Amino acid sequence: MTGLGLAELTGNPAWDGAASVAIGLLIGASAIFLINRNRHFLLGPAPSSESIARMLAVLEENPVVARVQDVKVSQLGADAVRFKAEVTFDGRELARRLLAGRDLDATWSTLNGPQALERLLVEFGGQVTDAIGDEVDRLEAELTQTAPEARHVDLEPD
């Protein structure tokens, strides 16, 4: 209003333009102030490195895990963390665990031809798939026990 009033009183329209520029600068300064003041809310706090290290150790020290990659950890709140990782399972270790509960001599005696072998392998393939799902569930539960702040754990078999 002051710019318009001065432009009307003096007959010089430059006062109106100067007032518009001043308003723009004031709005820009307010925006910069608010961004700086709220930066940590916009970007989010970083999860603690100790928490991340504990969760990675659970996975890397597990004999059924061959490799952990594409790990993403984000802070959800003051005491909540989201943990996501792609896990490559050791298929040989999974197979050993599945075979440990079988009577291999009895299984061998039932193999009397190619169809019996195919049935056995198809059944075993299904058991391996189920075992991977069970391992994912077990590891996710172990991660939430090791790091209670891990409220959302997502392990993806690779």
HSE, CB side, 13 Å, CA atoms: give it for residue 137. 6
pLDDT given at position 40: 67
Q: Which residues contact 56 (CB under 8 A, 6 or more apart)?
A: 68, 71
pLDDT given at position 42: 64
pLDDT given at position 45: 67
CATH architecture of 49-157: 2-Layer Sandwich (3.30)
pLDDT given at position 131: 92
Q: Compute the radius of gyration of the chain from its Cα atoms.
A: 31
Indicate the pairing of strand 150-157 with strand 80-89.
parallel
Q: Which residues contact 131 (CB under 8 A, 6 or more apart)?
A: 94, 97, 98
Sign of the torsion angle spanned by Cα atoms 123, 128, 133, 134: positive
- Residue type at 10 in one-letter notation: T
Q: Nearest-CA neighbor of 85 among 125, 49, 58, 48?
A: 58
Q: What is the pLDDT along the chain (158 residues), one digit of tens a residue?
A: 777 787 777 888 888 788 888 899 999 999 998 888 877 666 666 777 888 899 999 999 999 999 999 999 888 877 788 999 999 999 999 999 999 988 888 889 888 989 989 998 999 999 999 999 999 999 999 999 988 888 899 999 98
Q: What is the pTM of this model?
A: 0.67
